[in-house]
């Protein structure tokens, strides 16, 4: 077996054992199957599903062929928010009085992330990951985070994962130590996922409404939205979209890129700041800029999943502000052809760059395997 380097991820449903002890098994199995299917749907390339383990999904990704640190963090946040929304929807829609249905709200989600060496052993219909780093990952799932920090839903990053993802200065992480036999003290970093949910559930989108659209340009890109997003938010790739000589990202060190940060776009000797006013990972970025005195402009990049990839659309809004509004709108209407050319150039750039990598296989466990995993979890509880 060839030894490789890469990332390991376990998405594990929290509180399931206690939930089962208080629930009717037939309804509990259906609920777990639905939640496992959601986790599977969110485990997308470049992640590869290794196997299902009862109430958890285990996956991995190869070094050098992975998401940027911020995009990976946002992908976990996106999975968590989707999980919480599904649980909330189940609670709201159920009329069944059984314990399994009444106790759905007690379920939550946690993630374990590590980086290291591993080999892949083919077993039946799944890839079994083997190696000392894989063993460490599974040891990390047995921890004292809840007792020590009072957290029920969290992401646990190993030190190795933090460095590999370039998250050393990421704010909001809590340093924590665990001690294991034969391993000694292991330092990990914890992100509380509940604030992520609270922020997302109350967020008001700032998408450009149809009545304010001045013009739009779009392209179909043969990559999933998460991958297109990963290109879009990195200045060296965004530069291609904006046809700029250089793009810089201005933010506080350690902070995630979000609303309030700024892209500085250089064209020749001039610089146009683009302030982010809406940041919805894998869906939308809206920026605000001042192309001329007294006029405020807005530009939205919108990502929509389509068959075979992503529809990326750039939308320019009508100018705001009395002074120069007519000139602004007139000037940008003339740029329709140029914007479409920019989109096609970005499409070619992204697809060509991604084609350098060996395609990441899409592994979707069969429905009967998901149901079987749910049954195994019930029997083990």
Does residue 328 carry a pLDDT above 80? no
Claim to verify: residue 219 and residue 179 sit in the same structural domain: no
Claim to verify: residue 252 and residue 183 sit in the same structural domain: no
The pLDDT score that the predictor gives to residue 239 is: 95
Give the Cβ contact number of residue 276 at 10 Å.
Answer: 20
Claim to verify: residue 111 and residue 172 sit in the same structural domain: yes
The per-residue pLDDT of the chain, averaged, comes to 87
Using pLDDT thresholds of 50, 70 and 90, give the confidence band for residue 91. Answer: confident
Claim to verify: residue 158 and residue 174 sit in the same structural domain: yes
- 217 is in which domain, residue-wise? 207-354
Least confident span in 166-175, 339-348, 371-380: 371-380
Claim to verify: residue 16 and residue 155 sit in the same structural domain: yes
Claim to verify: residue 190 and residue 218 sit in the same structural domain: no
The pLDDT score that the predictor gives to residue 332 is: 73
Residue 266 lies in a domain: yes
Claim to verify: residue 312 and residue 175 sit in the same structural domain: no
The pLDDT score that the predictor gives to residue 162 is: 97
Which residue would you say has higher pLDDT here, 97 or 238?
238
**CATH at 232:** 3.30.530.20
pLDDT cut 70: percent of the chain above it: 90
Of 140, 172, 200, the last residue of a domain is 200
Does residue 182 carry a pLDDT above 90? no
Of 166, 185, 200, the last residue of a domain is 200
Residue 375 lies in a domain: no
Using CA atoms, how far residue 332 sits from 47, 325, 358, 372, 381, in Å, is 40, 11, 40, 57, 62
Claim to verify: residue 275 and residue 311 sit in the same structural domain: yes
Using pLDDT thresholds of 50, 70 and 90, give the confidence band for residue 291. Answer: confident
Q: What is the dihedral sign for C-alpha 196, 197, 202, 207?
A: positive
Contact predicate 31/83, CB 8 Å? no
Residue 379 lies in a domain: no
Claim to verify: residue 185 and residue 236 sit in the same structural domain: no
Least confident span in 40-49, 212-221, 293-302: 293-302
Does residue 275 carry a pLDDT above 80? yes
Residue 359 lies in a domain: no
Of 179, 200, 221, the last residue of a domain is 200
Residue 371 lies in a domain: no
Residue 381 lies in a domain: no
Count of the separate structural domains present in the chain:
2
Task: Annotate the chain with three-state secondary structure.
Answer: CCCEEEEEEEEEEECHHHHHHCCCHHHHHHHHHHHHHHHHHCCCCCCEEEEEECCEEEEEEECCCCCCHHHHHHHHHHHHHHHHHHHHHHHHHCCCCCHHHHCHHHCEEEEEEEEEEEEEEEECCEEEEECHHHHHHHHHCCCCHHHHHCCCCEEEEEHHHHHHHCCCCCCCCEEEEEEECCCEEEEEEEEECHHHHHHHHCCCCCCCCHHHEEEEEEEEECCCHHHHHHHHCCHHHHHHHHCCCEEEEECCCCCCCCCCCEEEEEECCEEEEEEEEEEECCCEEEEEEEEECCEEEEEEEEEEEECCEEEEEEEEECCECCCCHHHHHHHHHCCHHHHHHHHHHHHHHHHHHHCCCCCCCCCCCCHHHHHHHHHHHHHHC
- Highest mean pLDDT, choosing among 116-125, 302-311, 362-371: 302-311
Claim to verify: residue 179 and residue 212 sit in the same structural domain: no
Contacts of 200 (CB under 8 A, 6+ apart): 77, 81
Residue 163 lies in a domain: yes
Over residues 254-266, mean pLDDT? 90
Using pLDDT thresholds of 50, 70 and 90, give the confidence band for residue 321. Answer: low
| pLDDT tens by residue, 95-132 | 666 766 777 888 899 999 999 999 988 776 677 899 99
Claim to verify: residue 36 and residue 100 sit in the same structural domain: yes
Does residue 265 carry a pLDDT above 70? yes
**CATH at 36:** 3.30.70.1230
Residue 376 lies in a domain: no
Claim to verify: residue 73 and residue 193 sit in the same structural domain: yes
Contact predicate 313/298, CB 8 Å? no
């Amino acid at each position: 077996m060839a030894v490789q380097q890469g990332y390991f991820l376990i998405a594990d449903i929290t509180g399931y054992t206690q939930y089962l002890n208080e629930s009717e098994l037939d309804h509990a199995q259906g609920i777990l199957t639905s939640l496992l299917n959601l986790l599977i749907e969110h485990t997308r390339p470049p992640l590869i599903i290794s196997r299902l383990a009862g109430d958890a999904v285990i996956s991995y990704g190869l070094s050098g062929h992975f998401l940027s640190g911020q995009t990976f963090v946002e992908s976990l946040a996106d999975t968590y928010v989707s999980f919480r929304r599904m649980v909330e929807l189940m609670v709201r829609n159920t009329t069944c009085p059984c314990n399994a249905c009444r106790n759905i709200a007690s379920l939550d989600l946690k993630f374990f992330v590590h980086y290291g060496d591993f080999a892949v052993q083919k077993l039946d219909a799944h890839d079994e990951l083997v190696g000392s780093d894989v063993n460490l990952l599974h040891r990390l799932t047995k921890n004292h985070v809840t007792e020590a920090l009072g957290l029920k839903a969290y992401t646990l990053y190993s030190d190795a994962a933090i460095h590999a993802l370039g998250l050393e200065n990421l704010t909001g992480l809590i340093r924590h130590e665990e001690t294991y036999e034969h391993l000694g003290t292991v330092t990990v970093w914890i992100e509380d996922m509940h604030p992520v949910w609270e922020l997302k559930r109350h967020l008001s989108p700032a998408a450009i409404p149809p009545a304010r659209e001045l013009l739009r340009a779009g392209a179909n890109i043969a990559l999933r939205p998460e991958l297109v997003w990963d290109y879009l938010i990195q200045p060296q790739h965004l530069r291609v979209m904006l046809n700029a000589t250089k793009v810089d990202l201005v933010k506080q060190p350690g902070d995630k890129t979000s609303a309030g940060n700024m892209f500085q776009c250089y064209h020749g000797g001039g610089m146009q700041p683009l302030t982010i006013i809406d940041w919805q990972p894998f869906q939308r970025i809206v920026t605000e800029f001042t192309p001329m005195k007294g006029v405020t402009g807005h530009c939205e990049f919108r990502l929509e999943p389509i068959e075979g990839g992503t529809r990326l659309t750039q939308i320019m809004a009508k100018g705001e502000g009395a002074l120069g509004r007519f000139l602004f709108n007139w000037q940008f209407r003339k740029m329709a052809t140029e914007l479409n050319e920019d989109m096609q150039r970005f499409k070619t750039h992204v697809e060509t760059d991604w084609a350098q990598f060996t395609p990441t296989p899409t592994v979707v466990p069969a429905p009967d395997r998901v149901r079987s995993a749910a049954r195994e979890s019930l029997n083990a509880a």
